[in-house]
Amino acid sequence: MTVHIGAKPGDIAETVLMPGDPYRAKWAAETFLKDAKLVNEVRGMLGFTGTWQGHRVTIQGSGMGMPSLSIYANELMAEYNAQTLIRIGSCGGMQPHVNIRDVIIAMTASTITSPSSGIFREFNYAPCADWSLLIAAVKAAEAKGTRTHVGGIYSSDVFYAERPDLDEQMVRHGILGVEMEAAELYTLAARHKRRALAVLTVSDHLQTGEALPAADREKTFGDMVEIALQAAFS
């Protein structure tokens, strides 16, 4: 048991999926896991452990933003021996060819600052995904026929950004989408020598203003969860 995770020793699986929303963790656990058991509800940040095709899996909410994810990822790795951590969440599309409902598999995650920035000082560390997870996720997406993009994303430390000049440069340099957690997850995984990946559903688009209707979200997010699970155990 840690400060933010009330799970007992052995309650957390070595493979952890991390949606930002704790209620999305509940939905994913009930939808995809067999015999899912609630193992954490401290501060309402729900976590569940069950099995998928015979493999133990934990689905633990991370909260919104890198500082919140950092708390849970650190405790999962340092205290519960989590070995594979996959962020599953939504993102905003940034490129014209990236459409609503598409899935982005993040090869790299650029950021202005993160909770780990202080230890690097002037060094610009480049957080990246685990290659074995990335290639397995690509193969899983191809097998499902899911429209998928692989490349760099931007992890923002604010939701309501007011930097159109920065957005312009990110689009210019091929950034596929924006979210708020992956850069810190990738950095922490490298530090702890663990595997990490972010598989993201495009729920809205910064250029077109489109947004995924609430009624369509479950099916689209389901594709993302299945890709993450297939990648974890390939």
Active site residues per annotation: 204
How many other CB atoms are there within 10 angstroms of residue 78's CB atom? Answer: 12
- Do 176 and 104 meet the contact criterion of CB atoms below 8 Å apart? yes
DSSP classification of residue 12: S
Helix (H) or strand (E) holding 30, with range, is: helix 22-32
Each as own residue / partner, the long-range contacts of residues 207-211 (CB below 8 Å, 24 or more positions apart, any chain) are 207/93, 207/94, 207/96, 207/171, 208/93, 210/100, 211/100
101 annotated to a ligand binding site: no
97 annotated to a ligand binding site: no
172 annotated to a ligand binding site: no
24 annotated to a ligand binding site: yes
184 annotated to a ligand binding site: no
89 annotated to a ligand binding site: yes
35 annotated to a ligand binding site: no
C-alpha 178/C-alpha 188 separation (Å) is: 19
C-alpha 232/C-alpha 153 separation (Å) is: 21
90 annotated to a ligand binding site: yes
DSSP classification of residue 232: H
User: Can you read off the two tokens belonging to residue 21?
Assistant: 């929303």
93 annotated to a ligand binding site: no
179 annotated to a ligand binding site: yes
Annotation: binding site for a purine D-ribonucleoside: 4, 179-181, 203-204
Annotation: binding site: 4, 20, 24, 43, 87-90, 179-181, 203-204
Annotation: binding site for phosphate: 20, 24, 43, 87-90
